[in-house]
Amino acid sequence: MLQKYQHCLVSLIMAGGVVFCWLGYMYSTSLSPNEGPSKYDEELTWHPVVLSDRSQRKQAMLMEPVRTDVLTVTPWLAPIVWEGTFDPQVIDEAFRSYNLTIATTVFAVGKYTRFLHALLESAEKHFMTAIEEYIHQRANYIFCLDVDMIFHGRVGPEALGKLVAAIHPWFYWVPRSQYPYERRTISKAYIPQDHGDFYYQANIFGGAVEDVHRLTKTCREHLEMDKSAGVEAVWQEESHLNWYLWKNKPTKLLSPEYVWDDLRGQGAKEIKLVRFSSVIKNKAEVRENP
Ligand code: GAL
Ligand code: MN
């Protein structure tokens, strides 16, 4: 089954015109390897939270919001994950008993293979680490990562949800009319000036396997339709991802902590912790597109 999704993802990038070959990397992880075989459940995207007394020591105060400087929930009531909005210990405990399997795809294409080693090394330290590595036939969740990225801080089960996307680090303070959405009506990725919620970066997205499959299938179809019409969206698959997430709202949003850009440096005061970031690279040298 997962091969099907890999195929879709390969196609997604291919239609964007950058694939020559792929060195795929996929691993599955289990949050609780000691509890026997995983109970696979396609609908398992909501998990009742049961906590020990130890994890509940810190009281949440309704009149003392943990973040007052940033939006932590969308108008459609999806959480936006920022440092301070969750307790890592509580999250790890809440998810541990579900024995979840999380598939991860990373495509290293052409000259991008040079980034693979550092990404994987950093993933071992920071990505879903309350976890032992396990290879399962079926996954509950799937995450798709760009290869030219590094983990610097925790990216754990707080990032899990039915449909999850990350807010781009360069546009979150500007009006949506200035987002780099595709603006030509001829493209299937077209978003009008007065529409859209956030500008998402395609470097990390994920969710329940079925939801991500629906997303990649739609984007692939739209990329192919564009291609037949002789048009390529301004930011290729990222433009189609933004169109999809405009029409199908994500159930959880990752703040730019989860998709930072090293070019932005360390100065942003709303970013308390950079967790995952794009490495600085010579774009002219590695990219087909600008
Ligand atoms: C850049 C990023 C691109 C694309 C673009 C959108 O910072 O490198 O991948 O997301 O922003 O304007
Ligand atoms: Mn990239």
Across the range 254-276, mean pLDDT stands at 97
CB 248 within 8 A of CB 215: yes
Average pLDDT estimate for 165-186: 98
Q: Which residue minimizes the CA distance to atom 2 of ligand 1? A: 201
Burial of 57 (C-beta count, 10 Å sphere; 0-12/13-18/19+): exposed
DSSP structure string for 96-120: HTT--EEEEEEEE-GGGGGGHHHHH
pLDDT of residue 272: 98
Ligand 1 proximity of 277 Cβ (cutoff 6 Å): no
Ligand 2 centre distance from Cα of residue 286 (Å)? 10
CA–centroid distance, residue 10 to ligand 1 (Å): 20
Shortest-distance Cα residue to atom 1 of ligand 1: 170
Ligand 1 atom nearest the C-alpha of 263 is 7
List, for residues 177-209, the tens digit of each pLDDT value: 999 999 999 999 999 999 999 999 999 999 999
What DSSP string runs through 125-162?
A: HHBS-SSEE---S--SEEEEE-SSEEE-S-B-GGG--S
Q: What is the mean pLDDT of residues 155-175?
A: 98
Identify the pLDDT of residue 39: 44
Mean pLDDT of 250-276: 97
Task: Give the pLDDT of residue 30.
Answer: 37
Q: Residue 125: CB partners within 8 Å, gap ≥ 6?
A: 151
Enter the tokens of residue 254.
């990752």
Examine the residue annotation and report whether 238 is marked as an active-site residue of this protein.
Answer: yes
Across-strand partners of 142?
A: 103, 207
Q: State whether residue 204 is helix, strand or coil.
A: strand
Rg of the chain over all Cα atoms, to the nearest angstrom = 19
DSSP per-residue letters across 34-98: GG-S----TT---------TGGG-SPP-TTS-S-SSS--B-TT--BEE-TTSS-HHHHHHHHHTT
Instruction: With cut-offs at 50, 70 and 90, classify the pLDDT of residue 33.
Output: very low
Distance between Cα 250 and ligand 2 center (Å): 21
Measured CA to CA, the distance from residue 9 to residue 215 in angstroms comes to 10
Q: Ligand 1 within 6 A of 140 CB?
A: no
CA distance 1 to 115: 27
Q: Are strands 163-167 and 252-254 parallel, antiparallel or unpaired?
A: parallel
Q: Which atom of ligand 1 is nearest to the CA of 180?
A: 12
Q: Is the CB of 281 under 6 A from ligand 1?
A: no
Quote the ligand 2 centre to 194 CA distance (angstroms). 28
pLDDT at 47 over 80: no
If we measure between CA atoms, which residue out of 158, 156, 183 comes closest to residue 242? 183
Q: Answer with the residue of higher pLDDT: 149 or 98.
A: 149
